[in-house]
Chains A and B, each alone.
Chain A
Amino acid sequence: MTNTLHRQGTPEELKGDYVIFTSIAKEIKPGSAPQIHEFLKICNKYGPVNIGSSKYGSVLQDDVEFNDLITHLKDGSTSGAVFTDVETLQKVVADLAEANLGISINISGLLEGAHECCNKSGIQRHSVEQSLGFWGATDRLPERDVLEVNTLCGHGMVSFNYIRKMMDQVKMRRLTPKQAAHILGKCCECSVFNTERAEKLLARVLE
């Protein structure tokens, strides 16, 4: 989950891209599995576009079902879900605050949206991290649309060339943007890939 920090997009596009995830401090790792299960159940109740755990994969993958995921998650598993509007996210945060799970929970997305969720749920945000962008050999970076899709995966597992291939498949109408986004999402192990945003980006090749 480390670098959901560097997701690219205009503020308007980022309004549809929120990741909520747990991170379990070593100090409270033993016995944390029930809280992680509850976190995922609360998220799942609100229909995320992606959900899962870095250790067992996301529900976009062929062999991962939500109920199996819950069964397999153990103490300390990092888990997350993706939502596409701040209103739904606010409901998730309200439920999580009420559940008082005691595990660290983070939102990656527009700071303003996350702050609003905190305020409406009566909690005070604790810490904030922001990106200062890409430095160094930036001439090696790809075109803007490819970069936006690539950064939807927190670990950079969705390759530039695979994104280009999916854009070609959509352009040739061998795959719909939705199908192509789903295939790209399978590359992302920790379930932070936003398929709905990817679908919109892929659909641009048809314009």
Chain B
Amino acid sequence: MEIDKNKCVGCGNCHPLCPMGAISLDTDGKSVVNQDKCVECSTCYRVLRDERYPPAIVGGIRTVLSAFSLDYVSEVDVCPTGALTPPELEYPRNLRAAFSDPTVVHAGTGVGGRGTEEIKTNDITGRLKAGEAGIVIELGRPGTGAHFRDIQKVAQSLIPLNPHFEEFNPVTLLMTDTKTGKIRDEVLDEKVLSAIIEVKTTLEMIPEYLKTLESIQGDLDAVFSVGVASKCNPDGSVPHQKWVADAGYMASPNGKTNLGLGRPLFKEAGQ
């Protein structure tokens, strides 16, 4: 994101809105975006209503009021002069938007933002079958963001476990080799709001993956969220829960449930 300094009046409304804390007041009294921190999510641009006031008038009123030690307090969800300006993004910076802005549909997956279909369409795709487990590691969320070099670090730590990285996943599509977890060099310094490493494995391997993630977590400057998924047993029970509990972890009482209403329903061999 960029801020048009000819329009900005330094009201600061956009500062707290930024999920990465990338906007601050510059020495000239106008707001400025730290381009290293900005992940191009465009939240500031979308949420703040553009009041389209002439910058000279708003600036003049603010100056006069400040002479009397008074503040010009605008509504909290407006940019009085429409100073926020989304730039044209080129590769690799445009990856920031592809992973951080949910209104941008990723060209490789057809899904908005960093998302993937995960178990959400498992009733139709059969992405996870009986005996299999899905492990999703979302780096950067909540609230810290993540660089691809950290994302690569986590992906590479999993390699000894012989992971199957999900093909239709935005992170996998950036790997030069899924056998090594190596991500393209030119994107390693790019930062995103979050990115999801998605692995398919067997239920028995869940403890090994969790142990590996436990061992690497201290090496990262970002937080990550971990999720585990599986296809329900014919009696409706959830097979991954035993393996998670046996490994000494507690699964959340809430989660996602695919209701199985998709058609045609995927049929496994032998069903």
Contact = CB atoms under 8 A, between A and B. Distances in A.
Interface of A: 1-7, 9, 11, 14, 17, 21, 23-29, 54-55, 57, 62, 76, 78, 93, 96-97, 100-112, 114-115, 118, 123-138, 140-142, 147, 150-151, 154-162, 164-166, 169, 175, 183, 186-187, 189-190
A138 B223 contact: yes
A54 B228 contact: no
B41 interface: yes
B232 A125 contact: yes
B40 interface: no
Contacts of A29: 110
Contacts of B114: 2, 155
Contacts of B249: 132
Given A108-B255, A110-B253, A3 B122 contact: no
B74 interface: no
Contacts of A147: 142
B143 A128 contact: no
11 contacts: A4-B256, A28-B262, A125-B236, A128-B258, A129-B227, A131-B226, A135-B217, A138-B223, A155-B113, A156-B194, A183-B77
Contact of B261 (A27, A101, A136): A101
B2 to A, nearest CB: 19
Given A100-B263, A136-B217, 13 more contacts: A2-B113, A54-B102, A55-B105, A104-B258, A106-B120, A111-B257, A124-B260, A133-B225, A135-B213, A151-B142, A154-B102, A155-B113, A183-B77
Given A124-B236, A128-B229, A189-B103, A76 B110 contact: yes
Interface string B112-147: 111111111111110010000010101101111000
A161 to B, nearest CB: 4
A190 B196 CA distance: 18
Given A2-B196, A23-B117, A159-B17, A132 B228 contact: yes
B113 A105 contact: no
Given A14-B253, A25-B121, A140-B144, A106 B223 contact: no
B21 interface: yes
A194 to B, nearest CB: 12
B254 interface: yes
Contacts of B208: none
B193 A156 contact: yes
Contacts of A57: 103
A136 B76 CA distance: 33
Nearest to A9: B254
Nearest to A77: B112
Contact of A78 (B41, B112, B241): B112
A140 B102 CA distance: 24
A169 B121 CA distance: 41
A127 B128 contact: yes
Given A5-B256, A131-B255, A132-B244, A104 B123 contact: yes
A162 B143 contact: no
B226 A142 contact: no
B271 interface: no
A107 B17 contact: no
Nearest to A159: B19
A142 B16 contact: no
Contacts of A123: 259-261
Given A129-B228, A132-B244, A23 B121 contact: yes
A76 B210 CA distance: 34
A111 B253 contact: yes
Nearest to B18: A159
A154 B120 CA distance: 14
A106 to B, nearest CB: 5
B227 A131 contact: yes
Nearest to B121: A25
A111 B43 contact: no
B252 interface: yes
B261 A130 contact: no
Interface in B227-271: 227-232, 236, 238, 240-241, 244, 249-263
